[in-house]
Structure 1
Amino acid sequence: MIHCKRAYEPPAPDDGHRVLVDRLWPRNRRKETLALDDWSKTLAPSNELRRAFKAGELTFESFREAYRWELASHPEHWWPLLDIAARGPLTLVYAARDEQHNNAQVLAEWLEDELERRGAPTSPTCYAGEPMA
C-alpha cells in the first residue's frame, strides 16, 4: 500500500518505508523529526516543472501529465520503490501545502499503476524443446 504524507505530520508506526520525494528539503524540519528511510531527489519533478507549477503557469492536470512523462523517461528512479511497495507499506513524504495536488500524489498513482501492470505473469510457461508427456 502506498501512502502520501506531509513532512509536517508526525511519522506513524504504520508508515512503513518513508521516502522524501521532494527536490528541496522541507522548511523548518530537522532530519531526525522526519524519520526517513530515504530521500530521493531524482523522483521529484524537474526544477523547471516544479517552478512552473508553483508559479501557477500550469494547471494540475498539465503538471500531472508533464511529471508522468518525466517519470516514464527515467524508470531507474522509481523502479526500486516497486519492490518496497510490493513487500509492505510505502509512504511518500512531501512538503507541499496542497494535500491533493502535489507530486507525491502523482507519483503514488504512477507507482500503483505500475504495480498493477507488474501483477502476476499472464503468459504461459514456454516448454519449447521439452518432450510432451
Structure 2
Amino acid sequence: MTIRVRRVYDEPTDRDGFRVLVDRLWPRGVSKEAARADLWLKDVAPSDALRRWFHHEEPRFEEFARRYRSELDANPAVADLRDVVASRPVVTLLYGAKDQEHNQAVVLRDYLGTGTPTASA
C-alpha cells in the first residue's frame, strides 16, 4: 500500500493509482474531467471552522495538524478512506492548496500511518 499526496491542479500520471480528492470544497477552476478524481471524500476534510482558522498560514500548521488529527479521531469518514487505501495498491490524496508541505492531505497521509509524521505527532 502506497499513499501519495498531490495537488489536484497537477497533471494526473499513471503512478497516481486511485485518486481521492480530500478537500471539503471543490477546487476553483478545475473541472471534474480535468481533476480525474475517482472519489471525492469531502467528509474526511477538516471542518469549515478549522479550515477557516488555519487559512493555510504556515505558522499555524503544527496546531492545525493537532486539531485536525483530533477531528479525524472522531470522524466516521476515516473508515471509508481506510477501506479505499486497504483495497488498492496506490492511492493519491488530492488537495487544492498551493503549499505542498502544509496542508490537510499531508496530515491525513501521516494519520493513516504512511510517510513521516507531521509536526507534534
TM-score (norm 2): 0.86
Give the equivalent residue in structure 2 for 1:47.
48
Deviations 1:1-38, CA, capped at 9 Å, x for gaps: 00000011011112111110001111111110011111
- Aligned amino acid, residue 19 of structure 1: V
Whole-Å separation in 1 of the counterparts to 2:44 and 2:85: 15
Contact 1:11 1:35 in 2 (8 A): yes
1:107 is aligned with what amino acid?
L
Distance 1:2 1:26 in 2: 21
Residue matched to 1:85: 85
Q: Which has the larger radius of gyration?
A: 1
Moved over 3 A (4+): none
| Change over 3 Å in CA distance of 1:53–1:36 after alignment to 2 | same
Deviations 1:14-65 (A, max 9, x none): 2111110001111111110011111111011000100010074x71010000
User: What's the Cα RMSD here?
Assistant: 1.7
Indicate if the aligned counterparts of 1:44 and 1:103 stay in contact, CA closer than 8 A. yes
- Equivalent position of 2:30 in the other structure: 29
Contact map agreement 1:2 1:112 (CA 8 A) in 2: no
Q: Which runs of 5+ in 2 are unaligned?
A: 115-121
Segments of structure 1 that go 5 or more residues without pairing to the other structure are: 114-133
When normalised by structure 1's length, the TM-score is 0.78
Aligned residue for 1:104, secondary structure, equals helix
Query: What is the count of residue pairs matched by the alignment?
Result: 112
